[in-house]
Chain A
Amino acid sequence: MNASPVAGVRRQRLLVLASLIVFALAALTVPGLQSDEPAQAAVACGSNRASLTTGQGVTMDPCLSEVSTRMVVTRSAPTSSLGCGPFFLRACYETRWTINGIQRGGPFNVKFADGSVRSLYRLTFRNFHASKAAQITTMRMAQGDGGGAQGPIPGYTVKMLPDLNISLGGGAATTYTDLWVTASSWIQADFSVLGVGFDCTETRQVDNALLGFTAIVAVDVNGCAMDLDIAYMVTTPASGGTPNAVNLPNTTLRLDP
Chain B
Amino acid sequence: MSATMISVGGNRNALAAGWRWFRAFRRTRPFWGALWLALGGAVIVNFARSPITMVIGGGWNSSAGYILGGAMVMFAGVALFAPLYRSLVGIVGVLLGLAAFIGANLGGFLVGTLLAILGGSMIWGWGEKRPRRSRGKRTTAEETE
Contact = CB atoms under 8 A, between A and B. Distances in A.
Interface of A: 1, 8-9, 11-13, 15-16, 19-20, 22-23, 26-27, 30-31, 33-35, 155-156, 257
B88 A16 contact: yes
Nearest to B84: A12
A30 B56 contact: yes
B57 interface: yes
Given A13-B82, A34-B57, 16 more contacts: A1-B28, A9-B84, A12-B84, A13-B84, A15-B78, A16-B78, A16-B82, A16-B88, A19-B74, A30-B56, A31-B60, A31-B67, A34-B56, A34-B59, A155-B53, A257-B51
B63 interface: yes
Nearest to B81: A15
Contact of A26 (B70, B75, B78, B84): B70
Contacts of B64: 31
Contacts of A12: 81-85
Contacts of A8: 84
A19 B59 contact: no
A9 to B, nearest CB: 6
A27 B66 CA distance: 10
B106 interface: no
B91 interface: no
Contacts of A257: 51
A35 B64 CA distance: 14
B89 interface: yes
Contacts of B82: 11-13, 15-16
A156 B56 CA distance: 14
16 contacts: A1-B28, A8-B84, A12-B81, A15-B82, A16-B78, A16-B89, A19-B74, A19-B75, A20-B92, A23-B67, A23-B74, A30-B67, A31-B64, A34-B59, A35-B59, A155-B57
Please classify how large the interface on chain B is, using the bins under 10, 10 to 19, 20 to 34, 35 or more: 20 to 34
A133 to B, nearest CB: 30
Contact of B58 (A9, A27, A34): A34
Contacts of A23: 67, 71, 74-75
Query: 4 closest Cβ contacts across the A-B interface?
Result: A12-B82, A31-B60, A16-B85, A15-B82
Interface string B84-117: 1100110010000000000000000000000000
Given A12-B81, A13-B85, A155-B53, A27 B67 contact: yes
A30 B88 contact: no
Contacts of A155: 53, 57
Nearest to B70: A26
Contacts of B92: 20
Contacts of A1: 28
Nearest to A8: B84
Contacts of B53: 155
A31 B63 contact: yes
A201 to B, nearest CB: 43
A8 B77 CA distance: 16
A8 B85 CA distance: 12
A120 B98 CA distance: 51
Contact of B67 (A13, A20, A26, A33): A26
Contacts of A16: 78, 82, 85, 88-89
Nearest to B78: A19
A35 B60 CA distance: 8
A1 B27 CA distance: 13
B93 to A, nearest CB: 11
A9 B57 CA distance: 40
A16 B57 CA distance: 30
